[in-house]
Amino acid sequence: MIRNMVRCTIAAAMTMLATLASAADGLPGDINPGIALRRQAEIRLDKETLAISPQRITVEDVFTGTSKQKQFVPLVFTLPAMHLQQDANAASIIRDLRFAVNGQTIKPTRKLAVMLGDKDIAWRIATLGWKESELIAYLRDGQAPAGKLPLPTAWFDRQGRPRFQLRETYTWDQWFTPGRALTVRHSYVPAITGEANARPSQMIRAIGAATCMDDAKQNDARALDSGKGIAWSGLRYRIAGSRGWRPGAQDFTLRVDTGGALLATCMVGGKAVGKNALQFRAGNISMDQVIDLVFVRADG
């Protein structure tokens, strides 16, 4: 596991990828996603600009169609599995989704997928007469809707827990013209995890390895504790899914807005941009990488 900053500019991109892969376990909590393609297409991802803070994630992708023909390709944004507990923390839920193509706001089609393994069984639930709201209510409070056929027992384990997951997807069909750039922008309030009134030692034990906190970074975290503990927020993000564009972005820029917080991450090579931001760049970065970021502040 790489713990120290790498000074060699040539090696920075390779080191960044190695450190991302090294923290295999990662932080607790959901992985915030990017857009992907419904099917393989002749599309090149020229540039990805990614801005991350605990308050919002904004992603701007510039694509170019590489086929000789105009392509009609479905784009999809899939949320993590729904949290159905009645006491679910609002901060753990992605919200306020916004999408735009070439600067024009679009409204994608929402669909609730019910995934049993790799199969969507939503149509089977519909044939049993269940509405989406009834299924969600049943999974939350255990009360089956009156007059509806029961769900198959094979869909639940021995403890009665569902073997399936509910995932919201947002899709739209997009034309890609040969040789013409197209900019797709999406943003949302991310799912985060964290803790308030925490002791630095507790945080270090919980997420220190996942964020490559070396001795110096651990000491910085301890120095934030003035007797009231510290507060930390963890955020996970999956760099745009690999389906449809390979290799990765030819030009990749990640800007992390710390808001003045201490940032713990396995990424290296970040350069200060202004007072409260770090910028990372990597040529031809591999897609489908998960990055973990933790923002640490003094509590109280």
pTM here is 0.83
Lowest-pLDDT range of 161-170, 172-181, 238-247, 272-281: 238-247
Predicted pLDDT at 270: 86
**Tokens coding 151:** 């769900």
Q: Give yes or no for a contact between 213 and 264, defined as CB atoms under 8 angstroms apart.
A: yes
Predicted pLDDT at 4: 33
User: Where is pLDDT greater, at 84 or 182?
Assistant: 182
Predicted pLDDT at 99: 98
pLDDT 10s digits, 147-194: 999 999 999 999 988 999 999 999 999 999 999 999 999 999 999 999
Tell the burial category of 167 from Cβ atoms under 10 Å away from its Cβ (0-12, 13-18, 19+). middle
User: Where is pLDDT greater, at 185 or 83?
Assistant: 185
pLDDT over 50 at 28, yes or no: yes
Q: What span, in angstroms and rounded, lies between the C-alpha atoms of 205 and 261?
A: 19
Predicted pLDDT at 283: 60
pLDDT 10s digits, 95-132: 999 999 999 999 999 999 999 998 999 999 999 999 99
